[in-house]
Amino acid sequence: MRLQSLLALAATSALLLPLGAHAGKLPGGYLEACVANAQQVNKAMTTDQATKHCDCAGKAIEKNFSDDEIADLDSKDGIDARTMQRAETLVKRVCPPETQKK
Protein backbone atom coordinates (compact mmCIF):
# COMPACT_ATOMS: atom_id res chain seq x y z
CA MET A 1 0.00 0.00 0.00
CA ARG A 2 1.28 3.47 -0.79
CA LEU A 3 2.21 5.83 2.05
CA GLN A 4 -0.48 8.27 0.94
CA SER A 5 -3.14 5.59 1.36
CA LEU A 6 -1.78 4.66 4.77
CA LEU A 7 -1.86 8.27 5.93
CA ALA A 8 -5.38 8.73 4.62
CA LEU A 9 -6.48 5.59 6.44
CA ALA A 10 -4.83 6.72 9.66
CA ALA A 11 -6.42 10.14 9.35
CA THR A 12 -9.82 8.61 8.72
CA SER A 13 -9.46 6.36 11.72
CA ALA A 14 -8.29 9.20 13.90
CA LEU A 15 -11.07 11.55 12.84
CA LEU A 16 -13.67 9.08 13.96
CA LEU A 17 -12.17 8.43 17.34
CA PRO A 18 -12.79 10.29 20.58
CA LEU A 19 -9.45 10.91 22.28
CA GLY A 20 -8.48 11.45 25.95
CA ALA A 21 -5.28 11.68 27.99
CA HIS A 22 -6.69 9.41 30.67
CA ALA A 23 -8.47 6.73 28.69
CA GLY A 24 -11.30 8.20 26.70
CA LYS A 25 -14.39 6.60 25.22
CA LEU A 26 -15.13 6.22 21.51
CA PRO A 27 -18.41 7.53 20.14
CA GLY A 28 -21.18 5.09 19.34
CA GLY A 29 -21.02 3.70 15.82
CA TYR A 30 -17.26 4.27 15.62
CA LEU A 31 -16.33 0.80 14.37
CA GLU A 32 -18.92 0.67 11.61
CA ALA A 33 -18.05 4.16 10.37
CA CYS A 34 -14.31 3.46 10.53
CA VAL A 35 -14.65 0.20 8.57
CA ALA A 36 -16.72 1.88 5.86
CA ASN A 37 -14.24 4.77 5.55
CA ALA A 38 -11.22 2.47 5.59
CA GLN A 39 -12.64 0.50 2.67
CA GLN A 40 -13.39 3.71 0.77
CA VAL A 41 -9.81 4.88 1.21
CA ASN A 42 -8.28 1.48 0.39
CA LYS A 43 -10.42 -0.49 -2.05
CA ALA A 44 -8.18 -3.57 -1.63
CA MET A 45 -8.94 -3.81 2.09
CA THR A 46 -11.41 -6.54 3.02
CA THR A 47 -14.09 -6.04 5.66
CA ASP A 48 -12.17 -8.33 8.02
CA GLN A 49 -8.92 -6.41 7.51
CA ALA A 50 -10.66 -3.06 8.00
CA THR A 51 -12.43 -4.32 11.14
CA LYS A 52 -9.15 -5.52 12.68
CA HIS A 53 -7.40 -2.26 11.83
CA CYS A 54 -10.23 -0.08 13.15
CA ASP A 55 -10.57 -2.15 16.32
CA CYS A 56 -6.82 -1.79 16.95
CA ALA A 57 -6.95 1.95 16.24
CA GLY A 58 -9.94 2.42 18.53
CA LYS A 59 -8.27 0.61 21.42
CA ALA A 60 -5.07 2.61 20.97
CA ILE A 61 -6.95 5.90 20.86
CA GLU A 62 -9.09 5.07 23.90
CA LYS A 63 -5.98 4.11 25.86
CA ASN A 64 -3.90 7.16 24.93
CA PHE A 65 -6.36 10.06 24.56
CA SER A 66 -8.82 11.83 26.87
CA ASP A 67 -12.53 12.22 26.22
CA ASP A 68 -11.91 15.87 25.31
CA GLU A 69 -9.22 14.96 22.79
CA ILE A 70 -11.43 12.26 21.29
CA ALA A 71 -14.30 14.72 21.03
CA ASP A 72 -11.94 17.16 19.28
CA LEU A 73 -11.00 14.52 16.72
CA ASP A 74 -14.69 13.90 16.06
CA SER A 75 -15.43 17.64 15.87
CA LYS A 76 -17.30 19.15 12.95
CA ASP A 77 -15.88 22.64 13.58
CA GLY A 78 -12.15 22.02 13.27
CA ILE A 79 -9.60 19.68 14.75
CA ASP A 80 -6.49 20.60 16.73
CA ALA A 81 -3.54 19.85 14.43
CA ARG A 82 -1.31 18.52 17.24
CA THR A 83 -3.99 16.15 18.48
CA MET A 84 -4.57 14.90 14.93
CA GLN A 85 -0.83 14.38 14.37
CA ARG A 86 -0.55 12.42 17.64
CA ALA A 87 -3.47 10.22 16.62
CA GLU A 88 -2.11 9.59 13.12
CA THR A 89 1.34 8.74 14.47
CA LEU A 90 -0.07 6.40 17.11
CA VAL A 91 -2.37 4.54 14.73
CA LYS A 92 0.34 4.23 12.07
CA ARG A 93 2.81 2.84 14.63
CA VAL A 94 0.48 0.49 16.50
CA CYS A 95 -1.99 -0.64 13.81
CA PRO A 96 -0.55 -0.95 10.32
CA PRO A 97 -3.23 -2.02 7.84
CA GLU A 98 -3.35 -5.75 7.08
CA THR A 99 -2.89 -5.10 3.36
CA GLN A 100 0.55 -3.68 4.13
CA LYS A 101 1.72 -6.86 5.90
CA LYS A 102 2.68 -8.90 2.83
Q: How far is CA 52 from CA 2, 61, 80, 82, 96, in A?
A: 19, 14, 27, 26, 10
Average pLDDT over residues 4-14: 50
What pTM was computed for the model? 0.71
Helix, strand or coil for residue 9?
helix
65 contacts: CB under 8 Å, gap ≥ 6 = 17, 18, 19, 20, 21, 24, 73, 83, 86, 87
Q: Are 98 and 52 in contact (CB under 8 A)?
A: yes
Above 60 in pLDDT, residue 18?
no
Report H helices in 1-102: 3-15, 30-41, 47-64, 67-73, 81-94
Domain containing residue 35 = 3-100
Q: Does position 13 have pLDDT exceeding 90, yes or no?
A: no
Average pLDDT over residues 58-67: 95
pLDDT(12) > 60: no
Go through the chain and tell me how many residues it has. Answer: 102
Give tens-digit pLDDT for 90-102. Answer: 999 999 766 455 4
The total domain count for the chain is 1
